[in-house]
Amino acid sequence: MMYPSIHQTLQLYRQKGTFNACLHIEHLSLEKLQNLQAQCLHPNELTYFNTLPAARRQHSYLLGRYAGKSAIAGYLQETDLRRIEIKPGVFEQPIVLHPRSNNVQLTISHSGSWGMALAFPEAHPMGIDVEDLNADAALNTIVPLSGQEQKAIAALPYPPNERMILVWTIKEALSKVFRTGLTADLSIYELDLVQQDSQGIITTTYKHFMQYRAMSWIAQGHAWSLVLPRKTTCDISGVVRQLTAK
């Protein structure tokens, strides 16, 4: 099944000013991505891609690069994706190389054929994650919840396993802000308040990182989360509507 791209410039409103970010979501098969690689990959990326023997690794690499470059291109107003190079940092975090990069930051997540990427300014840290709702049910042991967290998510209108996948994305997205991945004790990412609005968007705050909040939603058999500074106002309802309408 074909899904159109979702490409959205996000206005990030703060008391002392406004920032912009660019969110890009794609659903693409490996075959489709292989047809796009010549117009997408930087020469250094193409050299690396040709060393990947496994189809699954090729798919995730191309999907992440295509979604990531599309987000960066929107942010920088670049028309040629091949001029953008995304290199892994020492913790595998994506590093953007471009003549006009201006400290643009990038966060990428993908699950199956879905890829999501967000380009944003260094001054305004953000993180994202997407996970298949049919992921391993053992997450309830991998991600143990405190009593407070269990109460906080109990009212969400989803089966228990889907709630656990959603919690995983909320914590994973925050870990990407810190560029640590989920290598720290997961209790440090403990959730505090969890509320869902009439559009299905779930807003979550964190017990130990009160300066951040997550906006999450369920769509297309996946859980999606975007983390941003708590006092930033950002409207993602258009993105959620496009995803749920597909």
Domain with CATH 3.90.470.20 in the chain: 1-124, 125-232
Q: Are strands 222-229 and 6-14 parallel, antiparallel or unpaired?
A: unpaired
pLDDT at 95 over 90: yes
Residue bearing tokens 């990427």:
117
Question: Is a pLDDT exceeding 80 seen at residue 183?
Answer: no
* Closest to 128 in 3D by CA, of 85, 71, 183, 87: 71
pLDDT digits (tens, 9 = 90+) for 102-160: 889 999 999 999 999 999 999 999 999 999 998 765 665 667 889 999 999 999 999 99
Q: Over 70: is that where the pLDDT of 182 sits? A: no
Per-residue model confidence (pLDDT) at position 159: 93
Residues 166-188, mean pLDDT to the nearest whole number = 87
Superfamily of the domain at 1-124: 4'-phosphopantetheinyl transferase domain (3.90.470.20)
Q: Residue 21: which pLDDT band, with cuts at 50, 70 and 90?
A: very high
Q: Which residues on neighbouring strands pair with residue 229, listed in sequence order?
A: 212
- Side chain identity at 109, as an amino acid letter? S
Handedness of CA 93, 185, 155, 234 (dihedral sign): negative
pLDDT of residue 110: 95
> How many percent of the chain have pLDDT more than 70?
95
* DSSP bridge partners of 114: 27, 111
Distances (CA, A) of 185 to 146, 181, 189: 13, 11, 8
pLDDT for residue 246: 64
* Residue count of the chain: 246
More confident residue, 101 or 142: 101
Domain 125-232, architecture per CATH: Alpha-Beta Complex (3.90)
| Beta-carbon count within 10 A of 123 CB | 11
